[in-house]
A and B are shown apart, each in its own frame.
Chain A
Amino acid sequence: MASIVCVFLHSFSVPLKDKKLLEVKLGELPSWILMRDFTPKGIAGAFQRGYYRYYNKYINVKKGSIAGLSMVLAAYMLFNYCRSYKELKHERLRKYH
C-alpha cells in the first residue's frame, strides 16, 4: 500500500527540464533557462514549433479569415518600426530634437 502511494507521489513531480514556461517557479527560472537547448538545431526547432503553433491556430483552420495574415503583417510592421526608430525619432514635430 505504502509503495503504491510512493510511486504516485514520484509521478506527480515532472523533471525541471521538461516543464513548460508557465509551470516553472520563479526561483527556478534561471536554471530552467540555462537548461534549454541553445544549439542551432534547438533554436531552429524552437522557431519551427512557434511557426506551426501560430499556423495551426490561425491559418490552417476550416474557415480562416484575413486576421491570421494581418496579424503577421502588423507584427512585421512593428518590427520594422522598432528597427528604424533611431532614424525616425528625428521626424517628430518638436522644436528641439
Chain B
Amino acid sequence: MNENLFTPFTIPMMLGIPITTLIIMFPTMLFPTPNQLINNRMITIQQWLTKLTSKQLMNTHNPKGQTWSLMFISLFLFITSTNLLGMLPHSFTPTAQLSMNLGMAIPLWAGTVVMGFRNKTKISLAHLLPLGTPTFLIPMLVMIETISLFIQPLALAVRLTANITAGHLLLHLIGSATLALVNISLFTALITFTILTLLTILEFAVTLIQAYVFTLLVSLYLQDNT
C-alpha cells in the first residue's frame, strides 16, 4: 500500500527509456488539422468548442492583448487534453509533474510582466502600490506587492500540480477503500462508491484548466489595459 500510492506519478519508462515525451505528444494526434470548409464530425466538434472557448477567453482584451489568443488556446487545449487523458485508468498525467507546470507557468508569466514593463513602464510600476494607502505604509506595501507578483508563477504551477495530483490520489484511495469494504460491510461500500462517483465527476478537470488560463489572462489583462 505504501509504495503503490505514488507509482502512477513516476516517470513512465519502457525498456529503461523514459517515454515522457511520447506521452506528452500523444494528445496532438487527437486534434486533426481541418483542411476543408466542411470537415468530418470530429473536427467540426473541436472547431465549435474552440470557437466558443476563444470567444469567451479573449473578449475582455483589447486588440493588443488578443494577439495572444493563439498562445492561450494552445495552452488551454493542451492542459485540457492532457488532464482528460489522465482520467483514463493506468495513464500518466504529465501535468501532475511540478517541473512541467513550472515550465509552462514561468515563461508565460514572465512574458506578460516583461511586456507590461516595456510598453507601459510607469503603469506597471504603479501597480506595485494599491490606491489610497497611508504614506507611512508605502515601503512595506511595495515589498508585499512585489512578493505577491513573484509568487504568481509559483502559484499557477503549484495550483495545477496539486489539484491534479490530489484528485488522482483521492480517487485511488477511495477506490481501494471501496474494494476493501465490499467484504466487510456492503452498505458502507455503496456509500463509498457514491463518493467515488461524485469525485470522478468533480475531477473532470476542465474547471481546473479554466482556473489556469483565467488567472494567466487576468495578469495579461491588467498589464495591457490599465
A interface residue numbers (CB < 8 A to B)? 51, 55, 59-64, 68-69, 72-73, 76-77, 80-81, 83-84, 87-88, 90-91
Contacts and interface: CB of A to CB of B under 8 A. Distances in A.
Nearest to B41: A64
B170 to A, nearest CB: 18
Given A83-B14, A84-B7, A88-B90, A76 B42 contact: no
Contact of A91 (B4, B26, B29): B4
Contacts, number: 50
Interface residues of B, number: 20
A72 B81 CA distance: 14
A88 B90 CA distance: 9
5 contacts: A69-B42, A80-B89, A80-B92, A83-B13, A83-B14
Given A73-B88, A76-B26, A77-B88, A55 B32 contact: yes
A7 B13 CA distance: 55
Contacts of A76: 26, 85, 88, 91
A17 to B, nearest CB: 29
B85 A59 contact: no
Given A64-B40, A88-B90, 6 more contacts: A60-B40, A73-B88, A80-B90, A80-B91, A87-B7, A91-B4
A69 B32 CA distance: 12
A69 B27 CA distance: 12
Contacts of A59: 32, 40, 42
A92 to B, nearest CB: 12
Given A59-B32, A72-B30, A84 B4 contact: no
Contacts of A64: 40-42
The 4 closest A-B pairs by CB, nearest first: A80-B90, A80-B91, A64-B41, A87-B7
Contacts of B14: 83
